[in-house]
Chains A and B, each alone.
Chain A
Amino acid sequence: MSPSPSILSVLSEDLLVRVYGFLDPPCRKTWRLASKEFHRVDSLSRTSIRILRVEFLPVLLSKYPNLSSLDLSVCPKLDDDVVLRLASNGAVSIQSLNLSRATALRARGLETLARLCHGLERVDVSHCWGFGDREAAALSVAAGLREVRMDKCLSLSDVGLARIVLGCSNLNKISLKWCMEISDLGIDLLCKKCKDLRSLDVSYLKITSDSIRSIALLPKLEILEMVNCPLIDDDGLEYLENGCPSLQEIDVTRCERVSLSGVVSIVRGHPDLQHLKASHCVSEVSRSFLHNIKALKHLKTLWIDGARVSDSSLLTLSSSCRSLTDIGVSKCEGVTDIGMTGLARNCLNLKTLNLACCGFVTDAAISAVARSCRNLETLKLESCHMITEKGLQSLGCYSKLLQELDLTDCYGVNDRGLEYISKCSNLLSLKLGLCTNISDKGIFHIGSKCSKLLELDLYRCGGFGDDGLAAISRGCKSLNRLIISYCGELTDAGVEQIRQLEHLSHLELRGLKNITGAGLAAVACGCKKLDYLDLKKCENIDDSGFWALAYFARNLRQINLCYCSVSDTALCMLMSNLSRVQDIDLVNLNRVTVEGSEFALRACCNRLKKLKLFAPLRFLLSSELLEMLHARGCRIRWD
């Protein structure tokens, strides 16, 4: 392709920028390789970037001067020193910073970053287990912060939260999921000082109703998530009845002590509620609940998974809340075809339907849903054993917008069914795990028609073989995630075909006994973007495969080598060459000695974030290695 320079010279820069704006990410890569001018447009227009290697960070930052969003979540070797060096490169206009899993980054680096980026508004430090009060204090220097995500910052206590709350009083979104040290005191202070809070996530915290009392005083709160808060009860939720006037979304899923009366009190107080997620805490949809939920004219999402729902109540519910787009009734006793048919008739705008484990739902219900709800995008039918090809036929006929279909453990699904499904050409995600009745023939239909597919789960689908996999590899070029664990028929011939999937980043080959080094080498060669690889119990892969992996799979971030017959040298090479590797499972490696493990780990210990090791190694590996791993923010799980 050689566009004539004359055409391009006609296009002014702002026109080029507009054209660039319509491109999707893969095309942009092509775009910037086209010419210097295009490259310049790309450099100026790009606002967000995800850094894969810390070595390129300074160059990339200087190359893209208008970046506003920087994602360092998958970047290995990110530590205080890197950040300090970065500081010398000049100020950055970053507004959004993702430091998720940057476990080696500590207070000093965070403070530098916070001072460096004056306009910082969003920070994500989730899953940094080392992120504690000191780090929080450092982060609180960024006074303009509006959104902070601190999921699973295990060392963060009320004191650290207080520092952030007091330093950044303009917060309007904060997530404290799994910050197990946070107590009522911290939440109380947060609610007192950050009156602009719009979104709050306190899931899994050991907070009591006192916190809810404080939260209820937030005037602007719109989204409140408190999944699995074991100490919150109905009395606490009663505070919400008269509090939080702006509340639009609430999630009380799996709150053990919350019952129907608590949910009813929320509903009573907020007629404008749009999203109500009360899975696994409502035991039964009672008359009073139905009476109150009728008032919610704007309700879009309703999750009542695990509740006992009768057909009549489902009908009443759907006839009053006609704007529902997302319904979750998984594991609900009493959901039958009659109820679902009624629901489908009433809720024509339905986009997401979760019917997992509703064993009495048959093809009739699915057909009714497919016919009425033409906008259906997500359908979860896990373990609905009565679903057969008839139901899938109507899905294929009517649900042209279907993007996500979960048929895990539906053993009524067969090749004919897959043929029907393949007509849903917009399908992005298809889960067929444990569907043992499908063979190459069915898979072939999927491969030939579902070209947009991003995710395909074929876990333990023993019925298909190399030809099916070849069809998938040929057809679903944009496939991102592929799970073919325990598909026992597969051999090297099939697996080698995977190399055609250039965009593949997540591959699970667990338990494929027939594949050898040749198969793995082909995969490593072809799938340049491979990021996650599960090779557990692939016992016949020899060193040649691992050598190839070490050489080609440069983007590999997470690898599971349990029960593999990798040798000392191959392991050492893997670990030293895979410069992005951050998460490895190394349990039950029969051919690897203690010295081998030691050398391999030393080779990659500056980039590891998570490590699973054979428990006795704890005493056999050198203490300075373990110590170094800790210092670099690596968590070791001894198995």
Chain B
Amino acid sequence: METEDDLCQNNWGSASILDYEMAMEEGESDLQVFKASSGQDNNGQANVDVLQGVKAQAWDPRTMLSNLSFMEHKIHELQGLVHLIIGRNGQLQDEQQQLITTDLTSIIIQLISTAGSLLPSVKHHHNMSTTAPGSALFPYPREANNLASQTLNTNCGDLDLPKPIVLEEVHEMKNEDDAEEGENLPPGSYEIKQLEKEEILAPHTNFCTICGKGFKRDANLRMHMRGHGDEYKTPAALAKPNKESLPGSEPMLIKRYSCPFPGCKRNKDHKKFQPLKTILCVKNHYKRTHCDKSFTCSRCHTKKFSVIADLKTHEKHCGKNKWLCSCGTTFSRKDKLFGHIALFQGHTPAIPLEETKPSAGASSSQSGSSGCNNAGMVSFNLGSATNANQETSQPGFMDGKINFEEPFSPLSFDTCNFGGFPRSIFDDSESSFQMLISSACGCSHINGGDGSDSNTSV
């Protein structure tokens, strides 16, 4: 269990490492800034060295040796600086203090990154255990911090490094697909980590130490590494790091994550703190909850997302939400709508609106005084030929959205004139034919009888 202070230091270490990674990815310009700020020639030289080390490192022992000697050199430099601080005995000018701090930071970062570049060879050759843990594969705050503090405080190359770099990777891979869900771990039974905002928002967490390319998954990085030489094609190098390679005796403390946003329920300072399970959970949580929703759906132009995967999921179904509730909520599936309706009192399913359009067309042509002319254009719409527009009981809801066509009135039939047919064919019983019969048969006109049938059945 770590104290709060430890965690804070963690944050410092990991943040700086991550910053550096981002710089690596984005190109040299940031490094140049870095160099300019360092202000010393040899530091600038070192930066270039780092750059070369990262870019052109070949994974043979010779490179490793040169890396090691570079680190040796740097450590000596660091020692010198620390001695200087001790010599001055804390009586430093503000400017000097600042300069020295900058120097220290730059040297330590170089050390860490170079040590990190040694990392894959650590996997290869287990005997070379004196290499520093890297930022390259995974930001490993605690160890990095240890390293930094050790280098700072103990002033020596006695880097007693913890081994579970591989462990951490496995941990991440395994939990990547886990859903964020409430679990009831008793407080204290797990280790809380808190990543900084920048770290969370970094697009990649796995970096190629040769070309600097970033990857989200270490499996992709391993695939990528094959391109850098045959030694990365061995089964051992390509294998997914798994638990068997771990020292099984060590008890594994469960790790949980805290959101850096103050006041968030996922923040460790919150009263009802609920830890996040994995790094991925942290990332998605932070983006969804505390970041701007910058991705807008290209179809509906209303829904916004901060996680691009969410946008893609939405776009897949956008526009297909044809199941509509009276409350305005749309559903892509009918059963979801019915579940919603069953749950909420007073909600009713809305009738789909598409049907109104063809019927409106039909009615307009029928109500025209020359109904025959445009009849060809009209398609039959059995379901809703007449005034299918009365959306009852939620007039308010519908009114805002659609313009109802003029309701079709059967009365308008009467005005139709069918191609010279001798009379209005929709007349009631008194028709010209009847007159014809009366005269032709000579029969008297007998009324059809009582209009109603004497049917008393209920």
Q: Which residues of A contact B407 (CB under 8 A)?
A: 108
Pair A627/B378 contact, Cβ less than 8 Å: yes
Interface residues of A, CB < 8 Å — how many?
A: 77
Q: Which residues of A contact B454 (CB under 8 A)?
A: 25-26, 28-29
Given A55-B451, A141-B392, A603-B431, A48:B410 Cβ within 8 A: no
Pair A555/B433 contact, Cβ less than 8 Å: no
Closest-CB distance, B370 to chain A (whole angstroms): 10
B105 within 8 A of A: no
For B189-226 the 0/1 string (1 means CB < 8 A from A) is: 00000000000000000000000000000000000000
Complex Cα distance, B338 from A192, in Å, reads 11
Pair B418/A624 contact, Cβ less than 8 Å: yes
Complex Cα distance, B421 from A9, in Å, reads 58
Q: Which residues of B contact A106 (CB under 8 A)?
A: 384-388
A375 within 8 A of B: no
Complex Cα distance, B454 from A52, in Å, reads 10
Query: Which residues of chain A from 28 to 54 have a CB within 8 Å of any chain B CB?
Result: 28-29, 46-53
A308 within 8 A of B: no
Pair A579/B384 contact, Cβ less than 8 Å: no
Chain B interface SS verdict (over half): loop
For A609-639 the 0/1 string (1 means CB < 8 A from B) is: 0000000000000111111101110000000
Binds A, one of B153-161, B264-272, B282-290, B434-442: B434-442
B425's nearest neighbour on chain A, judged by CB, is A602
Q: Which residues of B contact A71 (CB under 8 A)?
A: 455
Pair B436/A573 contact, Cβ less than 8 Å: yes
A175 within 8 A of B: no
Pair B392/A140 contact, Cβ less than 8 Å: yes
Pair A81/B433 contact, Cβ less than 8 Å: no
Complex Cα distance, B334 from A569, in Å, reads 54
Given A189-B341, A573-B437, A606:B431 Cβ within 8 A: no
Given A80-B410, A576-B433, A627-B380, A192:B366 Cβ within 8 A: no
Query: Which residues of chain A from 546 to 586 have a CB within 8 Å of any chain B CB?
Result: 547, 550-552, 554-555, 572-573, 576-577, 579
Q: Which residues of B contact A118 (CB under 8 A)?
A: none
Pair B384/A132 contact, Cβ less than 8 Å: yes
A69 within 8 A of B: yes
Query: Which residues of chain B from 325 to 384 have a CB within 8 Å of any chain A CB?
Result: 334-335, 338, 341-342, 347-349, 351-352, 355, 362, 366, 371-372, 375-376, 378, 380, 382-384
Pair A81/B411 contact, Cβ less than 8 Å: yes
Closest-CB distance, B409 to chain A (whole angstroms): 6
Q: Which residues of A contact B376 (CB under 8 A)?
A: 623
A162's nearest neighbour on chain B, judged by CB, is B349
Given A158-B334, A576-B433, A599:B456 Cβ within 8 A: no
A138 within 8 A of B: yes
Pair A159/B349 contact, Cβ less than 8 Å: yes
B96 within 8 A of A: no
Of the listed residues A51, A108, A192, the one surrounded by the most CB atoms of chain B closer than 10 A to its CB is: A108
Given A133-B351, A162-B341, A50:B434 Cβ within 8 A: no
Interface residues of B, CB < 8 Å — how many?
A: 64
B413 within 8 A of A: yes
B186 within 8 A of A: no
Complex Cα distance, B388 from A631, in Å, reads 12
B457 within 8 A of A: yes
Pair B386/A80 contact, Cβ less than 8 Å: yes
Q: Which residues of A contact B351 (CB under 8 A)?
A: 133-134, 137, 159-160, 163
Pair A627/B362 contact, Cβ less than 8 Å: yes
A297 within 8 A of B: no
B458 within 8 A of A: yes
Complex Cα distance, B386 from A104, in Å, reads 9
Complex Cα distance, B385 from A108, in Å, reads 12
A338 within 8 A of B: no
Pair B446/A185 contact, Cβ less than 8 Å: no
B302 within 8 A of A: no
B440's nearest neighbour on chain A, judged by CB, is A547
Q: Which residues of B contact A163 (CB under 8 A)?
A: 348-349, 351
A91 within 8 A of B: no
Q: Which residues of A contact B455 (CB under 8 A)?
A: 25, 48-50, 71
Complex Cα distance, B386 from A178, in Å, reads 24
Complex Cα distance, B428 from A528, in Å, reads 20
Pair B451/A623 contact, Cβ less than 8 Å: no
Pair B456/A28 contact, Cβ less than 8 Å: yes
B234 within 8 A of A: no
Pair B433/A573 contact, Cβ less than 8 Å: yes
Chain A interface SS verdict (over half): helix
Pair B342/A192 contact, Cβ less than 8 Å: yes
Pair B450/A130 contact, Cβ less than 8 Å: no
Pair B458/A96 contact, Cβ less than 8 Å: yes
Pair B375/A188 contact, Cβ less than 8 Å: no
Pair B380/A134 contact, Cβ less than 8 Å: no
A455 within 8 A of B: no
Q: Which residues of A contact B388 (CB under 8 A)?
A: 106-107, 134
Given A49-B452, A60-B451, A631-B362, A166:B341 Cβ within 8 A: yes
B397 within 8 A of A: no
A400 within 8 A of B: no
B61 within 8 A of A: no
Pair B433/A577 contact, Cβ less than 8 Å: yes
Closest-CB distance, A545 to chain B (whole angstroms): 12
A79 within 8 A of B: yes
Pair A48/B456 contact, Cβ less than 8 Å: yes
Q: Which residues of A contact B457 (CB under 8 A)?
A: 48
Q: Which residues of A contact B409 (CB under 8 A)?
A: 80-81
B393 within 8 A of A: yes
For A532-554 the 0/1 string (1 means CB < 8 A from B) is: 00000000000000010011101
Complex Cα distance, B359 from A130, in Å, reads 13
Complex Cα distance, B454 from A51, in Å, reads 9
Query: Which residues of chain B from 381 to 411 have a CB within 8 Å of any chain A CB?
Result: 382-393, 407-411
Closest-CB distance, A615 to chain B (whole angstroms): 17
B429 within 8 A of A: yes
Query: Which residues of chain A from 497 to 544 have a CB within 8 Å of any chain B CB?
Result: 528
A22 within 8 A of B: no
Pair B392/A111 contact, Cβ less than 8 Å: yes
B300 within 8 A of A: no
Pair A166/B348 contact, Cβ less than 8 Å: yes
- Cross-chain contact of B429 among A55, A111, A167 (Cβ < 8 A): A55
Pair A189/B342 contact, Cβ less than 8 Å: yes
Pair A630/B382 contact, Cβ less than 8 Å: yes
Pair A52/B338 contact, Cβ less than 8 Å: no
Complex Cα distance, B101 from A604, in Å, reads 101
For A170-192 the 0/1 string (1 means CB < 8 A from B) is: 00000000000000011011001
Complex Cα distance, B452 from A543, in Å, reads 30
Pair B387/A80 contact, Cβ less than 8 Å: yes
A24's nearest neighbour on chain B, judged by CB, is B456
A193 within 8 A of B: yes
Q: Which residues of A contact B349 (CB under 8 A)?
A: 158-159, 162-163
B429's nearest neighbour on chain A, judged by CB, is A579
A418 within 8 A of B: no
Pair A107/B390 contact, Cβ less than 8 Å: yes
Pair A193/B452 contact, Cβ less than 8 Å: no
Complex Cα distance, B337 from A188, in Å, reads 13
Given A189-B342, A602-B425, A577:B434 Cβ within 8 A: yes
B248 within 8 A of A: no
The 8 closest A-B pairs by CB, nearest first: A56-B451, A554-B448, A624-B375, A50-B455, A25-B454, A576-B433, A81-B410, A579-B429
Supply 7 A–B pairs (Cβ within 8 Å), ascending by A. Answer: A55-B451, A108-B387, A141-B393, A155-B382, A551-B441, A579-B448, A622-B372
Give 20 new A-B contacts, CB below 8 A, not counting A606-B426, A625-B418: A25-B456, A53-B451, A79-B410, A80-B410, A81-B409, A106-B388, A108-B387, A130-B382, A132-B383, A134-B351, A134-B355, A134-B384, A158-B338, A162-B349, A163-B349, A166-B347, A166-B348, A572-B433, A576-B431, A631-B386
**Chain B: residues with CB nearer than 8 A to chain A?**
334-335, 338, 341-342, 347-349, 351-352, 355, 362, 366, 371-372, 375-376, 378, 380, 382-393, 407-411, 413, 418-419, 421, 425-426, 428-429, 431, 433-434, 436-437, 440-441, 443, 446, 448-458
